[in-house]
């Protein structure tokens, strides 16, 4: 908004408080005094959710609360979880008891049936596993090669799926169109109208005969049915969109080994017998048995309820679907899928999506409640006035006859007349109570979520769509988000010598090359696949792993051969805190070497010697350390990511026995430096423009990376995040420097930080917390398991879809499918678009509300007649509610949105600009239509017509002009703060279609459906005048937008007045209590 107001300093409207852990609000965040309809964007407590439901005025609960969280079903879901967890606990307890007596009993090898395999895995029956020959025996029975997996032939996949089941679970079907029809029918006002229509129909037929008597009741019934059908169709369409998006969320893609190569496929395509590599952050996709495990730790809390990491190896080999890999890596053999797993049973029981409410949705419920109360009050007043005038003989028919004469009018006629007046009042309630207002949020969110998918963003939490529009800062990773994630080693140093080109094996001493190949082949989670036909070698793993493996292959490494020459004793998986990974291997000559790779300066600091270009070991003195640091700094200065390789020999006596090896920490001191390499990862195209657009839009981009600060600085300059190459601390800061500061110091410098290098996930979390305490709305990107706390803590967590782990994705609100920062900026645009579209719809709807209510109230008080009858008001309601929401809530985002500052989280829904636009249009419509109501006959030259025809023609003209004003005003509502309301209108086909449909239906109603709507045909001159009056709203909107408005929201003036009035009352009460008696 160009009138985005600063946060109020009014004591009534806001207070500052320490961080509310329960609600998720940050310290210093403003909260409204009347917080009934205010909820935090994430992790809202159940009590807060219940409170706004109880405060909302609702005439159709099934419709109003359809896309909000079903609290009852959520409790039922938790109960199901508890039961299944208890079932799992009972099985485990029974197993422990059983194992005590049966562990030594040998199993009987034989044919392994589907039920036996499922039971063995589910019951964790170790003795049965041993009886079948362990994991090797099971693999043999399942015809699986533990190294190469299954062949992957289509016939084999189908056979395994038919024999052991598919990795899917039955989901509850979405609600049918008939269910939505039934829910739309539940609206209390529509039910009252149908009852009134039925009575009117019966009395009309009895008094006027079937030929004429059915029109009044029949037309109301028909109009109500149309409203119900259109409403149900709109809601059904939204429901289908949400179902499709939920399917996308569930469709996890994972690596599987088939035919010796690692391929990516959907979790639903997994079959029994598959070999699945697991690494930190993965979700176990099915039940299975460990094949190999290196420090493999599994978090089984999702199934057991106990947040305890369980270490898996050959002694504890069973894995449960749905659990998360917390540490290490390994391979598993799939033994049960889908409904044959505990996880499948659980998901089938709770698979229905119970909805979720967003802060904007709840605030709109509050606005709808307020408008509804006003509407009910107005309708009540109108009803009383109409009844008084009717029963006192002041109401007349179009032909001038008095409608009710005491002692003369029959009871049936009197009741019919009273029913007609009652239906008018009820219809005013239908128009006044905007049940569709909160659903307009859902409509625009559903539309935005669908379109965001094409912009490579998958929304996991609805509220993130709108919160992104308020983002004031984005803490972005470097690798893969700002850069392409296409790494290649372009520089290498052995000792003092730079190897050029870096992959020329002839320049490497034989001893150094041999050690390097040992470290590259074994200290990796990646893989190299050599096709039998001699095709292109396939590399798998992270981009860093692939770059190193590619370098090794170019140096002459045969991956499988190198791995066969040594065996792994113990592994230290890559750790983002320590910035390195290690492996202990035993060579064929029984020598043991511990290989390390990681951040260059971290590895160099652990070295006490280095190998020179002749392969001779040299001591690491301070001068040499400085020389190596100089090499690292030179590479970092040209945006290279620096890594180092080192090793150390180990005596066999220093290695603990197998039972104690799980807790063994690999020695990382006294290392011998082998090589330092620099990897090039170029910036993504368009990232500089995306960063500039964010800055222009008032969103500060900060780089938070685990890389060397010099590398981070070089990339930040290239991307446009950093402007000054000589920027001092804390603009450029290392993670360890930031984490050592106190909370107050962190808060103070957090605003200034632009680049944080060598940061750990905890440093990122600390920065997010500090920024939130300063009042920022923070978006954070992350891909690793350790990023989960920061993603969860941030206002918007953005996980990377390609490199992100499943744990990171589950903690996020939005998944960036292409890992590109430009897609993050598109999400910001969509977030602002959601808010802008809702404001367009509010402005349009309130204009209709104010105009329709005012016209009917004034007319009812003055003449006892309402110019807009029941059927006409229902048509206006349809234009305003469902069709208006479809037209305005589905506007695509424009570049103009990025010219605004971020939307304040406490910014009023109706801004001063909206109030101005609304009042200008409403005042114009009310003035014109009231003039027509009281002087229309003379203005339209209808005095020579019969009284009945003149009244009908006048009211038809008023109705037609009123509807055309709304159609033309829909264009004005498209651009709340822009003069050119037609910009991009032809690109929005849905808007043009709805405006066109509304216009055609209006012509049909006036010209051909007069019997139902109590209208008469208008000649071309009256049509021309109607259009002329309506079209004036366009230049009027332009003139209105030239009227300046104050920056302080009008609501704050009222808040201040009420606050000071309350303060004076409290002061007066205090004085009277202190006065002497």
CA 671 centroid distance within chain: 47
Q: Which residues pair with 333 in a beta bridge?
A: 275, 289
For residue 309, give the H/E element and its range: strand 309-311
477 has catalytic annotation: yes
For residue 250, give the H/E element and its range: helix 215-250
**HSE (side-chain half, CA atoms, 13 Å) at 1028:** 6
Contact by Cβ (8 Å): 736, 711: no
Cα separation, 351 vs 338, whole angstroms: 13
H-type helices in 17-70, by residue range?
A: 46-55, 61-64
Tokens (6 digits) for 436 = 């569709």
Contact by Cβ (8 Å): 643, 601: no
Cα separation, 193 vs 331, whole angstroms: 66
Strand residue runs (E) in 855-978: none
**Which residue in the block uniquely carries the two structure tokens 């659903």?**
439
CB burial of residue 771 (10 Å; 0-12, 13-18, 19+):
buried
What does the DSSP assignment read for 502-566? TT-GGGS-HHHHHHHHHHHHHS-S-EEE--TT----EEES-HHHHHHHHHHHHTT--HHHHHHTE
Gyration radius of the chain's alpha carbons: 36
SS (H, E, C) 794-842: CCEEEEECCCCCHHHHHHCCEEECCCCHHHHHHHHHHHHHHHHHHHHHH
Q: Which of 125, 216, 477, 813 is catalytic?
A: 477
How open is the CA angle 529-808-487, to the nearest 5 degrees?
40
H-type helices in 864-911, by residue range?
A: 870-878, 884-888
Q: Is the alpha carbon torsion for 496, 500, 502, 506 positive or negative? A: negative
Cα separation, 61 vs 51, whole angstroms: 15
* Maximum alpha-carbon separation in the chain: 124
971, 946, 964: which is closest to 1022 by C-alpha? 964
Cα separation, 949 vs 1010, whole angstroms: 12
H-type helices in 594-734, by residue range?
A: 600-605, 622-637, 687-696, 709-719
Cα separation, 930 vs 936, whole angstroms: 9
Tokens (6 digits) for 567 = 């065996």
Q: Helix, strand, or coil here: 238?
A: helix
What does the DSSP assignment read for 12-28? TT-B--S-BTTTTBPTT
Contacts of 851 (CB under 8 A, 6+ apart): 921, 922, 925, 926, 929, 962, 965
Contacts of 628 (CB under 8 A, 6+ apart): 493, 600, 604, 610, 673, 676
What does the DSSP assignment read for 999-1035? HHHHHHHHHH-HHHHT--PPPHHHHHHHHHHHHTHHH
**HSE (side-chain half, CA atoms, 13 Å) at 878:** 26
For residue 365, give the H/E element and its range: helix 359-391
Tokens (6 digits) for 677 = 């390499």
Asked whether the bond before 551 is cis by omega within 30 degrees of 0, the reply is no
Active site (catalytic) residues: 477
């Amino acid at each position: 908004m160009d009138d985005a107001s600063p946060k109020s300093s009014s004591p009534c409207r806001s207070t500052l408080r320490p961080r509310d852990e329960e609600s998720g609000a940050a310290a210093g965040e403003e909260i409204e005094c009347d917080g009934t309809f205010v909820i935090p964007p994430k992790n809202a407590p159940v009590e807060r959710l219940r409170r706004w439901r109880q405060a909302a005025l609702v005439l159709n609960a099934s419709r109003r609360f359809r896309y909000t969280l079903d609290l009852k079903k959520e409790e039922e879901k938790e109960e199901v979880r508890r039961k299944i967890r208890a079932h799992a606990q009972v099985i485990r307890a029974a197993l422990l008891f059983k194992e005590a007596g049966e562990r030594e009993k040998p199993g009987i090898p034989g044919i392994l049936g589907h039920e036996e395999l499922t039971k063995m895995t589910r019951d964790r029956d170790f003795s049965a596993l041993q009886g079948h020959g362990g994991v090797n025996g099971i693999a043999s029975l399942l015809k699986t090669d533990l190294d190469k997996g299954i062949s992957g032939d289509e016939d084999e996949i189908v056979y395994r799926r038919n024999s052991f089941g598919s990795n899917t679970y039955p989901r509850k079907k979405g609600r049918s169109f008939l269910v939505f029809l039934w829910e739309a029918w539940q609206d209390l006002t529509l039910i009252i109208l149908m009852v009134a229509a039925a009575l009117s129909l019966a009395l009309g037929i009895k008094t006027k005969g079937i030929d004429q008597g059915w029109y009044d009741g029949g037309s109301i019934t028909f109009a109500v049915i149309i409203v119900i059908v259109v409403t149900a169709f709109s809601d059904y369409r939204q429901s289908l969109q949400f179902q499709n998006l939920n399917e996308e969320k569930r469709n996890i893609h994972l690596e599987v080994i088939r035919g010796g190569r690692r391929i990516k496929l959907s979790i639903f395509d997994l079959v029994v017998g598959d070999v699945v590599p697991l690494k930190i952050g993965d979700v176990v996709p099915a039940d299975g048995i460990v094949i190999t495990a290196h420090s493999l730790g599994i978090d089984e809390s999702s199934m057991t309820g106990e947040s305890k990491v369980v270490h898996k190896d050959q002694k504890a080999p069973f894995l449960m679907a749905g659990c998360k890999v917390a540490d290490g890596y390994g391979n598993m053999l799939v033994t049960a899928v889908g409904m044959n797993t505990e996880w499948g049973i659980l998901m089938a029981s709770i698979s229905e999506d119970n909805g979720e409410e967003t802060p904007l949705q709840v605030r709109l419920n509050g606005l709808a409640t307020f408008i509804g109360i006003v509407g009910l009050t107005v309708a009540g007043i109108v009803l009383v006035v109409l009844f008084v005038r009717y029963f006192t003989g002041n109401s007349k028919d179009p032909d001038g006859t008095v409608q009710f004469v005491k002692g003369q009018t029959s009871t049936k006629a009197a009741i019919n007349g009273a029913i007609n007046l009652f239906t008018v009042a009820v219809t005013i309630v239908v128009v006044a109570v905007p049940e569709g207002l909160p659903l307009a949020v859902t409509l625009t969110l559903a539309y935005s979520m669908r379109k965001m998918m094409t912009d490579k963003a998958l929304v996991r939490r609805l509220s993130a769509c709108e919160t992104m529009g308020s983002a004031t800062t984005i803490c972005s990773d470097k690798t893969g988000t700002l850069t392409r994630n296409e790494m290649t080693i372009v520089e290498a140093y052995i000792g003092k010598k730079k190897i050029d080109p870096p992959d020329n094996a002839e320049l490497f001493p034989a001893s150094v090359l041999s050690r390097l190949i040992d470290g590259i082949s074994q200290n990796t989670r990646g893989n190299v696949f050599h096709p039998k036909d001699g095709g292109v070698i396939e590399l798998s793993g992270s981009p860093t792993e692939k770059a190193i493996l590619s370098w090794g292959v170019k140096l002459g490494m045969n991956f499988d051969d190198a791995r066969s020459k040594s065996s792994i004793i113990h592994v230290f998986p890559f750790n983002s805190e320590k910035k390195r990974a290690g492996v202990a291997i035993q060579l064929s000559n029984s020598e043991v070497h511990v290989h390390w790779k990681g951040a260059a300066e971290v590895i160099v600091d652990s070295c006490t010697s280095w190998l020179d270009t002749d392969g001779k070991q040299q001591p690491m003195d301070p001068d040499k350390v400085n020389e190596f640091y100089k090499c690292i700094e030179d590479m970092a200065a040209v945006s290279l990511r620096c890594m180092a390789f080192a090793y150390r020999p180990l005596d066999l006596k220093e290695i603990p026995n197998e039972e104690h090896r799980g807790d063994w920490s690999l020695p990382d001191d006294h290392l011998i430096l082998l090589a330092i390499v620099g990897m090039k990862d170029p910036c993504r195209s368009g990232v500089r423009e995306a960063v500039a657009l964010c800055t222009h839009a008032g969103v500060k981009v900060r780089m938070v990376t685990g890389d060397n600060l010099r590398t981070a600085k070089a990339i930040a300059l290239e991307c446009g995040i950093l402007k000054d190459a000589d920027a001092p601390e804390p603009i450029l800061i290392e993670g360890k420097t930031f984490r050592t500061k106190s909370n107050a110091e962190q808060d103070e410098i957090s605003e200034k930080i632009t680049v944080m290098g060598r940061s750990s996930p905890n440093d990122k979390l600390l920065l997010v917390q500090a920024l939130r305490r300063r009042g920022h709305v923070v978006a954070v990107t992350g891909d690793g398991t350790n990023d989960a706390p920061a993603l969860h803590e941030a206002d918007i967590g953005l996980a990377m879809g390609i490199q992100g782990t499943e744990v990171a994705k589950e903690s996020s609100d939005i998944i960036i499918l292409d890992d590109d920062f430009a897609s993050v900026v598109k999400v910001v645009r969509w977030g602002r678009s959601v808010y802008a579209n809702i404001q367009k719809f509010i402005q349009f709807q309130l204009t209709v509300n104010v105009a329709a209510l005012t016209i009917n109230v004034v007319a009812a008080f003055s003449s006892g007649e309402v110019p807009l009858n029941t059927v006409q008001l229902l048509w206006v309601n349809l234009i305003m509610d469902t069709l208006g929401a479809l037209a305005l809530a589905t506007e695509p985002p424009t570049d103009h949105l990025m010219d605004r500052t971020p939307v304040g989280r406490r910014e009023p829904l109706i801004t001063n600009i909206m109030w101005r636009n609304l009042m200008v249009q409403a005042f114009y419509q009310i003035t014109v239509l009231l003039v027509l109501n009281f002087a229309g006959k003379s203005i339209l030259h209808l005095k020579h017509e019969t009284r009945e025809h003149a009244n009908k023609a006048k009211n038809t003209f008023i109705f037609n002009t009123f509807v055309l004003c709304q159609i033309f005003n829909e264009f004005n509502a498209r651009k709340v703060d822009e003069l050119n309301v037609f910009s991009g209108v032809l690109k929005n086909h849905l808007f043009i279609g709805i405006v066109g449909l509304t216009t055609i239906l209006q012509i049909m109603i006036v010209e051909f459906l007069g019997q139902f709507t109590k209208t008469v045909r208008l000649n071309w001159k009256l049509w021309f005048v109607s259009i002329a009056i309506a079209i004036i709203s366009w230049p009027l909107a332009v003139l209105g937008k030239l009227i300046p408005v104050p920056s302080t929201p009008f609501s704050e003036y009222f808040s201040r007045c009420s606050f000071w009035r309350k303060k004076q009352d409290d002061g007066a009460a205090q004085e009277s209590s202190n006065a002497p008696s």
